[in-house]
Amino acid sequence: MKVTEHLAAAKDTIVSFEILPPTKGKSIQSIYDHLDPLMEFNPAFINVTYHRAEQILKTRKDGTLEWVEIRKRPGTVGICAALMNKYKVEAIPHLICGGFSKAETENALIDLDFLGIKNVLALRGDAAVGEKFFTPNIHGHRYAEDLVRQVVDLNNGRYMEEDIIEGAKTDFCIGVAGYPEKHFEAPNVDTDIFYLKRKIDLGGDYVTTQMFFNNDHYFNYVKKCNDHGINVPIMPGLKPLTNKKQLAMIPRVFNVELPVELYTEMMKCKNDADCEKVGTEWLLHQCRGLLAQKVKIIHFYTLGKPSVIYNVLKQLF
Ligand code: FAD
């Protein structure tokens, strides 16, 4: 079932989760251990992030150096198939432009289609580790909108090889990313929303937001998007804080602000257990605010702390 169909069919607020593939060397059981308790809340779907390869400098035995490409978290497509098989739930692979040629993307989409995957989240991806700015693959896409265009082409049976006439049409529902506090490269929120609208006009079916810790950012963003003529569902994404390191890391990496009240309470904590309590209360408070406005769905970035999400959902549903 497509995300848009789930949302249209939902009578009450539904939930969805996002997970990361395990780091290379770990088994998929770590994902099952993470998700098993959360399945009690019947997620409409589970997103699986994609992590591009990194170039690292390795020392050979003879002391000389060589650049080696490593992929720390492979397995997005395989995990999607495994989740669908194990939990009978929709899995949404994230697709990124970074590091991919258009031909590789097309082949990945064909694999996903053959696996019966009906949804993809189309993203640009960040700059490669060690690079300041995002650089597309020489045969790849520069912006997420170019990826959206490619998925739409395949949905219309248009393949890269021009001699494929009347190619099989895929039927992907396409999600795109949105940033209530603007994407860090955008000069202002309006310009960012201008480009978001292009992704939607080209075929994006819904938006999943970057995490935010102040619901006002989300509600203002939805209003602004509507004012710009974006009328597709805009799914709020939430993440709990669980330790003090995140107080510096989250604003830097995700370009989002932490409200003074949350920051102050976290700073008072003596250990991670205290931090988790504060993070749980804040997440609960955010969820209640969203539920009061009857949002159709809440998307949870579960990333490593499913117990907090579990405790919050247990109190809400
Ligand atoms: P785009 O929509 O291409 O936008 C990038 C920037 O360019 C923005 O500033 C935008 O305003 C601007 N822009 C867009 N189009 C144009 C244009 N035509 N001309 C000029 N400027 C333009 N990253 C991963 O690597 N893996 C993941 O699994 C992953 N999952 C994510 C899930 C969600 C819900 C979100 C919100 C982000 C995720 N990211 C992921 C991070 C994302 O890849 C980065 O934030 C990336 O820097 C931007 O991706 P985008 O798809 O929003 O890019």
Going by alpha carbons, the residue nearest to atom 32 of ligand 1 is 177
The DSSP letter of residue 71 is -
CB 280 within 8 A of CB 312: yes
Who contacts 179 (Cβ-Cβ below 8 Å, separation ≥6)?
186, 192, 209, 210, 221, 255
Closest CA to 305 of 247, 261, 243, 253: 243
H or E segment to which residue 149 belongs:
helix 144-155
Q: What is the CATH number of the domain that holds 178?
A: 3.20.20.220
Question: CB neighbours of 129 closer than 8 A, spacing ≥ 6?
Answer: 54, 55
- The per-residue pLDDT for range 248-286, each reduced to its tens digit, is 999 999 999 999 999 999 999 999 999 999 999 999 999
Residue at 50: amino acid letter: Y
| First-last CA distance in the chain | 23
Distance 146 CA to ligand 1 centre (A): 11
What does each C-alpha distance from 181 to 114, 261, 288 come to in angstroms? Answer: 37, 18, 21
**Measuring CA to CA, which residue among 301, 204, 305 is closest to residue 253?**
301
**144: Cβ below 6 Å to ligand 1?**
yes
* Ligand 1 pocket mutation, candidates 47, 95, 124, criterion most atoms within 8 A of CB: 124
Q: Compute, in angstroms, the gap from residue 104 CA to the centroid of ligand 1.
A: 19
Residue 69: predicted pLDDT: 87
- In this prediction, residue 129 carries a pLDDT of 85
Residue numbers of the chain with a pLDDT score lower than 70? none
CA of 294 to the centre of ligand 1 (A): 27
- Distances in Å between the Cα of 166 and the Cα atoms of 151, 155, 156, 170 are 16, 12, 9, 12
- Ligand 1 site-directed mutation target among 45, 189, 195, most atoms within 8 Å of CB: 195
Which atom in ligand 1 lies closest to the alpha carbon of residue 179? Answer: 36
Cβ of 108 below 6 Å from ligand 1: no
With a 6 A CB cut-off, is 146 part of the ligand 1 pocket?
A: no
- Characterise 241 by phi-psi region: left (phi > 0), alpha (psi -120 to 50), beta (else): beta
Pocket probe mutation, ligand 1, options 45, 50, 123, 218, max atoms within 8 Å of Cβ: 123
- Strand 54-59 vs strand 65-70: parallel, antiparallel, or unpaired? antiparallel
Q: Which helix (H) or strand (E) element contains residue 70?
A: strand 65-70
| Cα gap 265→271, rounded to integer Å | 12
Q: What is the pLDDT of residue 305?
A: 81
Host domain of residue 115:
3-316
Predicted confidence at residue 261, as pLDDT, reads 98
**Count: domains in the chain:** 1
Q: One-letter amino acid identity for 264?
A: T
Distance CA 240, CA 296 (A): 20
CA of 143 to the centre of ligand 1 (A): 7
Going by alpha carbons, the residue nearest to atom 23 of ligand 1 is 125
| Confidence (pLDDT) at 130 | 83
pTM of the model: 0.97
CB 207 within 8 A of CB 175: yes
Whole-number pLDDT of residue 55? 84
